A and B are shown apart, each in its own frame.
Chain A
Amino acid sequence: MSQWIWTLDDVKNTPSIRAGFTKEQETNYRREGCKIISEVGSQLKLKGNPTIATASIYFHRFYMIKPFQEFPREITALGCLFLAGKVEETPKKCKDLCTNAVSRFPDIYAKCHNLSEDIMGMERVLLHILKFDLQVDLPYDALLEYGEMFPAISKENMKEVTQIAWTFINDSYYTTLCVTTDPQMIAIALLHLAFTVKSITPVEPGGDPCWWSKDISNWPSESVDKACHLVLDFYAATKNSPVLQNGRLCR
């Protein structure tokens, strides 16, 4: 297995948790970092596929190796976005990144006087920790391919299901799904979730409910559901209190 995929136990025992964080703190910190990536990224006209997703993967991988206590998430988030921009050929000037970060989150960034240097320093730290493994696979292409696998479902329905799954993938980057699950499996799990949400049964009665078993055998429905729950938990937790609602980081 790839060195960038961790076990579920590893995710419960991250460097930050070992350094004293609770699981909730860790989860919140990750969501906030990814929210910054997503918001500042959107303001710079970057898309979920690929730049924001890639930046979020860097962010989650980084904090599987280093603790939040040592590396502030607001700097790491911008460093990831800066680096992902270059790797995904959607480069943004460091200066523009800083301006947008300050305008979108003044309470977080106005106090940072050397933001530009911090981001560039962070870029080098990221390269060191990520070992220049910057090419990441994303689930989007796999999703579109799987979307063609169900000729029995009407075109309209399938289009809608694929769109829902696409949104699930975008939102999955607020969770640790990308550091525990291969991108192709993420595509399968979240397409499965989209089918469930739309109450569509993708297989004929009596057929194998695990329609993905040709590609990934021995992956039971229960494990797929578990992966989906990570995303559903995120929705449940942030429904009433969205991440960075008032533009301030939690303590």
Chain B
Amino acid sequence: MEVYKLEDMMNRMSCRRQEPPQLEHFQFFQQLGRGAYGVVHHVRSKIDHQEYALKQMEIISGPDGIPQSVLREISIMKSISVKRHPNILGLRAVFHRLVRENAYVQINMLVEKCDWDLYTFLRDIPKNLPEHQCRHISAQLLHGIEFLHSHNIIHRDLKPQNILINRDQTVKIADFGLSRNYSNTSAFTTLVCTLWYRSPEILLQSYYDSSSDIWAVGCIISEIFSRQALFPAQNEADQLKLIFQRIGTPLPHDWPQDAVVDKDSFKCWPLKSIAQINPFLCQASVDLIDRCLKYNRLERLSARQALEHRWLCPQKRRVFQNLNTNQY
């Protein structure tokens, strides 16, 4: 049996409800975005008449078929989507087709359509958000991250561009797990992606884990208040320097042991709280962000701890005080 015969069989397969959708089932509107992974289109399904975002990636099918990293990431996203977490962008379907002339496999991922990404949202609103709204958005962001971390998924590329927000203020995290190593396999050239939310340990190319996402969360919460990026460096070389200038150079014992750059190559700036840089923060959020931006990743809050922080969980604090008084 030859491969074209299989492809032919695939194309002839009926489209019963159980079967995955095909491109012909969608009406295409404008392009929503373009990233390292490919393009995103706004589409409407001709079957359920709902609107979706359709991400199209083109993968080179090498001598060992579809790359393992791609398969694993998509299948993990698929299995996570079944659990339908309210703050994770739902992956509704995945389907693929061969783009034969180019020997590419085009993978289509059908996801929920949201109104804005957080980047556009913060750019276009006329004035700063009130504190309770900042808190509502931050809490949802952390709920989503906590869910990913509890399923052993590190996002790795959290930034306002891949946090989505709807008119009703629901927040959804997109593109988790898809950001890694895509330049090797993608047919698209990697666009300059933002370094602003990268943790120092990633920038120093040393060991990193889920706490790197928490660093990004710290940067993003600060930005939700001020609508200004916290560490907007011009290029990769300046990114670390800018972080150190703004919140201080790490102490020697907080410098990653396996870092590729020596601490002595940076000037020694004094450690500062985020409150000294961002005047728009409320007092409780300052403490939370400071704990997200610890240089020692072991000292950073986990997503779960952050959700229990007094800024996000004032009721909890009240209960705790009651308990204390009851102990007399």
Contact = CB atoms under 8 A, between A and B. Distances in A.
Interface of A: 3, 65, 70-72, 75, 82-83, 86-87, 89, 91, 93-95, 114, 117-125, 127-128, 131-135
B79 to A, nearest CB: 4
A93 B105 contact: no
Interface of B: 1-3, 6-7, 9-10, 13, 18, 20, 61, 63-66, 68, 71-72, 74-76, 78-79, 93-96, 98, 105
Contacts of A95: 63
Given A83-B71, A86-B71, A87-B71, A93 B64 contact: yes
Given A75-B1, A86-B72, A135 B78 contact: yes
A166 to B, nearest CB: 25
Contact of A114 (B2, B10, B94, B98): B2
26 contacts: A72-B1, A86-B65, A87-B72, A89-B68, A93-B63, A94-B65, A114-B3, A121-B2, A121-B6, A121-B7, A124-B6, A124-B7, A124-B65, A124-B66, A124-B96, A125-B6, A127-B66, A128-B10, A128-B13, A128-B95, A131-B78, A131-B95, A133-B75, A133-B78, A133-B79, A134-B75
A119 B74 CA distance: 20
B126 to A, nearest CB: 42
Contacts of B7: 121, 124
The 5 closest A-B pairs by CB, nearest first: A134-B75, A121-B3, A121-B6, A135-B79, A132-B94
B3 A128 contact: no
A122 B2 CA distance: 10
Contacts of B10: 124-125, 128
A93 B75 CA distance: 20
A89 B72 contact: yes
Nearest to B22: A128
Contacts of A122: 6
A134 B300 CA distance: 34
Given A95-B63, A133-B79, A124 B1 contact: no
Nearest to A119: B65
A128 B96 contact: yes
B63 A134 contact: no
B138 to A, nearest CB: 30
Contacts, number: 82
B139 to A, nearest CB: 29
B71 to A, nearest CB: 5
A229 to B, nearest CB: 29
A120 B96 CA distance: 14
Contact of A135 (B6, B20, B65, B75): B75
B2 A118 contact: yes
B67 to A, nearest CB: 8
B9 A87 contact: no
A83 B65 CA distance: 9
B100 to A, nearest CB: 11
A196 B233 CA distance: 68
A95 B1 CA distance: 17
A123 B18 contact: no
A188 to B, nearest CB: 23
Contacts of B64: 91, 93-94
A120 B74 contact: no
Contacts of A127: 66, 96
A124 B63 CA distance: 14
B1 A118 contact: yes
A131 B63 contact: no
Nearest to B7: A121
A70 B75 contact: no
A86 B75 CA distance: 11
Nearest to B5: A121
